[in-house]
Structure 1
Amino acid sequence: MKNIKNIISFIIMSLVFFSCEDKGLENEDWLQDPNFPNPLTMTLSSKEIVLNRDNKDATAITFTWTQGNDRGAGTTLTYFFRMDIAGNNFGEGAAAGTSTTITEEIPAGVFTKSYTVGELNALLLKNFKRPGGVITNLEAQIIAQVNNSPQYQKPEVSTSGFAVTSFSPGPLPLFMVGDGISGSWDYNTGKILPEITERTIYNFVGDFSIGEFKVIENPGSELPSYDPSVGNTIVYNETQPRNSDNVFKVTQAGRHSFYMDIDQKIYVFGYVPYENVYMVGNAITGIGWDIGKAKPMNWDPKNPEVFTFSGQFDAGEFKLALDLGNWGGRFLMPQANGTILKGDANDNTNVSLMPNGQPDNKWVIETAGQYELTVNPAKMTIVLKKL
């Protein structure tokens, strides 16, 4: 998939490059947008689709396209199919890791692609993060890339939109059981693992005890379960009884985040001692010393130990509040007042917890600019990076 995305990126970049740098080449008309009497055209079996959970194996939509035009002796065409939410521009210009575009290289000689009701609904739910019962406008695109040409030739491209009403497959309740979370190995006393995305993503943030726990599907039954494996992956276990290798381990009591994606088969478990971290001070653009408007830092359950913020900082001072609107509450502060953060390797990264906000120590940013601030309350560290 990564190679396919790189190929598509190359095609798009080439469109831009050659549209600007087309001087001095033979047959300059090859660098223009393809203009054939019978251009590559994609047709859809339907433009409006309502998916039905009772008909999952039926064909929901079929995309059919004509053969691309001949581009000269020795050339061949490779076809790429893309699909995304309408308006997303197929991920072009999106920040790294945020694109939802589905890209697939089509085998030679194939000029059609279909999705069943179940497949298309799963894409809407898991890839596009769309809930059931809503209408989603999608776009599909077929690209005919020219290969083995003595000169670059722009690909033929055909794009078409359609609307899909998805359905909810229904929740899949999961439960956490064990002396590390529910107090015992009584499989009837498990705690609910909250479902964030239906049948896919789960996340629980709360108190754990030193010990172990499992994730099960059915209260009162040890199996089936979702068990930890190497490299923070999970396996679906229907046969193996509990042992020291197939349980999640808690080595530090306190507030943790447990994140699990059963579609990607991954989990993340991390110590998160505080619910929020807020920035306050005259170095925080637009906030100043108004504790009631302190700016919250960002938290990601896939990287639970850290809080981050990227953006403009002013020259000045700041500290980190754990309790919004309370100058007498808990603060994270430097060990010495006036600790300067320059965003380099010489910065003092140590953080101290001040339960009552005293002594009133502050960090100092000497030069205004764009920075990324990362705070790790689990390890009591702070890192400033200039962007």
Structure 2
Amino acid sequence: MKHNRFQLKYIQAAKMLGTTIMFITLTFCFGGFLNSCQQDEDIVILKGDPVSLSLSANELVLSQEAYANTSLVISWSRGSNQGTGSSISYILEVDKAGNNFASAKTYDLGKGVYEKSFTVSGLNDLILNFWDIQAGTTAEFEVKVTANVTNEDVEDGVTEIKSFTVTTYKPVSPELYIVGDATPNGWDITGATPLTASTSKPWLFTYQGQLTTGNFKFAVSQDECGCQDFYTQDPAYEGRLVYNEGGSGDDVQWQISESGNYKLTVNLVDLTIDVEKLAGPAFLNLYIIGDASPSGWNIGNPEAFTRDGDDPFVFTYEATLSPGDFKISTFKGDWCDGEWLNATQSDQVLTATDYIVTQGCEGPDNKWHVTEETQGRYNITVNLYSGTIEIEPVMLYLIGDGGPNGWDIGAPEPMIYANGIYTFTGALGADNPTGEFKFSKYQGDWCDGDWLIAATPNQSVTNGSYKIRHGCEGDDNKWKLQDGDAGNYTITIDLDSENITIIKQ
């Protein structure tokens, strides 16, 4: 009897990109066509190719400017699990060429991952730090991927080894500091002023602020060791930097010949610097120094001037000046740390309206002189734009319908100053028995200066509490006479002790 039969000769299974490709060859014998036939049948099932590897580039030249770009992409195929359905995980190895992967950087990437990308900065840092390769040189690397199949009966796949070359660069410092006697913190590198790095171009740094006459350079840290890296001036061109690694090289510094507000733009890739003097005052702070002032000769903690909120060139200071001398500093710390506003001559009178600027301890160390006759309460106004100084006695005036001159701000009642005390003696309430009053430091217009006003509205004349009002800002509290309060009074004001006494005679 004839019958059909077949024999499976072999089956080969593999998986490639999840697509199953089958090749089936069948040979059958049918009684109606052949008298006598017996033929083997071959069935071949192929499921994918072995894992393979590809690189996006074989020669790489890295640069700081492209730090955020993708420099290299390593890709691989899925590989084969030999038709077992087992999962596959991947291990990427990168090493210097010729090492036979003995010191490889290994990435265990797990399942379902088919590429690994490197940014310019990431690859550069890896090569410099992991393999300790010198910046600016070219090195060759090898890479391979192992496809680990979870089924122990299936052999792991390994790609062919591929190579690529990389030319590295030396990364610029992520931080930069300005140091020098022209800078806010002088040569104290532990307190050096940081520059601001650009978020999009981290090799670009800016500083905007005060610089005084003197020198400066740039450090990469606040480490007090002089062996750190510095950027100094190119001796041939002041607009270029020289990178002094480890404190080596010539220590050529930039010089500021005129104090003021500056903007510095430093490019550590191009090694360039732009120095721009901005509009604005030469100094942000002024301090009074001398035995004629409340500061004494304490340069470490002198009393400060107040900078005008509307005009940044104008500074004011009010205090009682005693017999002695004073000058004005633009800094505090040590005597030679910065610039001074000095009188134009020794023992300058208080009516003089000009000054000179001197550097450190170079002099001339001229001072303003206060005598027994000129001592008293003064308001000092310095205008850095016009280069002038005004030293004027502080006056106090009584104003209001409870006082002698009413509300005439152009001609208020002056108080008498002697030995640090302002005094008014006279009638209150003569024209209005329940009138009000307050005190001004000026005459002219209502918002031209400062006031001494009552601490609360309609304050009793027996309460001397007060506060300062600037111009027309804020509260306008007054002392108010009540029924029976009118009469003769002595009012004394001590601005040093901040005390007001109102006594009915």
After TM superposition, is the score higher than 0.5? no
| TM-score interval, normalised by the smaller of the two chains | 0.3 to 0.5
- Structure 1 or 2: more helix by fraction: 1
Q: Tell me the TM-score normalized by structure 1.
A: 0.33
Structure (1 or 2) with the larger CA radius of gyration: 2
Q: Tell me the TM-score normalized by structure 2.
A: 0.26
